[in-house]
């Protein structure tokens, strides 16, 4: 019976009290009777509260004075499972994730708000406003879990892959044939999940959007980690998750883009002032269409210096633009 009382009191305080809104013994007694069917005296409740305030208890209860009646005590749990800002982070991440469908988003947010007391839950009622719509992807959660399990077990995976056409029809690549790859890691970039893989035949590192996969499964084939491969470093070298050859890159930027460059390459990026209006960035990265498109975002305020391959790609893309507007 004692254990039942303690658990009921902990649940009561977890749900109905907080540091900003502690509750009285009178209110605790009413909640225990109404919601838990426990008709306890004040003496019984005080005994359990005293234990919960002791060093022996893993759930610490704090006792204070009622601001409206100084002679009356009030109580709350000292350590909530989540702080209000932590729950806000989680809720906003769920809301922003385009691959979580609207019904699942609502369900997850409801569960997250249930992890705190009623007062804090009300403070979380204002939800994130999204500028882009959600998408519904069949079996997405199962696919993510399958890929994580395959990576942990060092098993190869196979899947079908496709894209939408202009008629908004999802068309499978390779006429519906399966891709079989070595899964190196799952990353979340630019609001999407990606699977970083090694092609089994060409030994090339390739990225796949997981929301474009279907019929994902583990195979019986196992693999060994690539010697010296660092997933974090590889992802940092990518631009918009495009594959390509890694090499030394140099780019000139206008001064007003310094914060853009620091946001992308970090505060330790190799930056050198070359004039009153321009600076030079030198870094290691993957030369790809993703890098070209990222540089074109900044127009004439960004100029590729090397390698020659990157300069050639930039010139070719600029010529395409010119051809469109002549």
Residues 317 and 247 in one domain: yes
pLDDT at 311: 93
Residues 204 and 190 in one domain: yes
Based on the structure, what is the number of domains in the chain? 4
Rg of the chain taking only CA atoms, in angstroms: 28
66 assigned to some structural domain: yes
Residues 249 and 315 in one domain: yes
27-66: pLDDT as tens digits? 999 989 888 888 888 899 988 888 888 888 777 888 888 8
Average pLDDT over the chain reads 86
Rounded Cα distance, 203 and 72, in Å: 72
* C-alpha separations of 50 from 225, 271, 278 in Å: 55, 61, 68
Residues 63 and 98 in one domain: no
Rounded Cα distance, 2 and 167, in Å: 66
CATH number of residue 184's parent domain: 2.30.30
Q: Which two tokens stand for residue 140?
A: 């997405």
Residues 207 and 243 in one domain: no
Contacts of 231 (CB under 8 A, 6+ apart): 184, 185, 187, 196
Q: Is the pLDDT of residue 177 over 80?
A: yes
Contacts of 83 (CB under 8 A, 6+ apart): none
Q: Sign of the CA dihedral 238, 242, 245, 250? A: negative
pLDDT at 7: 84
137 assigned to some structural domain: no
Rounded Cα distance, 147 and 113, in Å: 29
**Considering 233, 252, 278, which residue would you say is the last residue of a domain?**
233
pLDDT at 13: 84
Q: Over pLDDT 90: what percentage of the chain? A: 32
130 assigned to some structural domain: no
13-27: pLDDT as tens digits? 887 888 778 889 999
246 assigned to some structural domain: yes
Nearest to 253 by CA among 293, 304, 294: 304
258 assigned to some structural domain: yes
Residues 163 and 223 in one domain: yes
SS3 state at 235: helix
pLDDT at 264: 83
109-157: pLDDT as tens digits? 888 887 777 777 777 777 666 656 676 777 888 999 999 999 999 999 9
Residues 224 and 175 in one domain: yes
Q: Which domain holds residue 119?
A: 84-123
pLDDT at 80: 65
Residues 245 and 306 in one domain: yes
Q: pTM higher than 0.95, yes or no?
A: no
281-309: pLDDT as tens digits? 998 888 888 889 899 999 999 999 999 99
Q: Is the pLDDT of residue 167 over 80?
A: yes
42 assigned to some structural domain: yes
pLDDT at 87: 84
């Amino acid at each position: 019976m004692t254990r039942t009382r303690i658990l009921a009191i902990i649940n009561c305080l977890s749900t109905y009290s907080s540091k900003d809104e502690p509750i009285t013994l009178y209110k605790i007694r009413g909640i225990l009777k109404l919601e838990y069917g426990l008709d306890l005296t004040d003496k019984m409740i005080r005994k359990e509260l005293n234990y919960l305030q002791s060093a022996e208890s893993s759930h610490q209860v704090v006792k204070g004075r009622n601001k409206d009646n100084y002679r009356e005590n009030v109580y709350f749990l000292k350590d909530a499972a989540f702080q209000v800002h932590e729950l806000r982070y989680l809720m906003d991440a769920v809301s922003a994730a385009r691959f979580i469908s609207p019904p699942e988003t609502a369900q997850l947010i409801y569960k997250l708000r249930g992890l705190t007391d009623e007062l804090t839950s009300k403070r979380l009622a204002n939800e994130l406003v999204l500028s882009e719509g959600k998408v519904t992807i069949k079996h997405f959660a199962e696919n993510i879990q399958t890929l994580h399990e395959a990576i942990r077990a060092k098993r190869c995976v196979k899947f079908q892959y496709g894209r939408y056409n202009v008629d908004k029809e999802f068309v499978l690549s390779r006429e519906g044939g399966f891709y079989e790859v070595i899964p190196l890691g799952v990353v979340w970039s630019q609001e999407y999940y990606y699977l970083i893989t090694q092609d089994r035949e060409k030994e090339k590192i390739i990225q796949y959007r997981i929301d474009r996969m279907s019929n994902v499964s583990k195979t019986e084939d196992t693999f060994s980690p690539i010697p010296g491969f660092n997933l974090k470093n590889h992802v940092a070298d990518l631009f918009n998750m495009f594959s390509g050859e890694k090499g030394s890159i140099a780019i000139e930027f206008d001064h007003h883009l310094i914060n853009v460059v620091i946001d992308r390459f970090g505060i330790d990026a190799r930056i050198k002032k070359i004039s009153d209006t321009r600076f030079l960035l030198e870094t290691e990265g993957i030369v790809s269409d993703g890098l070209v498109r990222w540089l074109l975002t900044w127009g004439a305020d960004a100029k590729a210096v090397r390698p020659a391959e990157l300069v050639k790609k930039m010139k070719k893309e600029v010529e395409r633009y010119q051809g469109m507007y002549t």
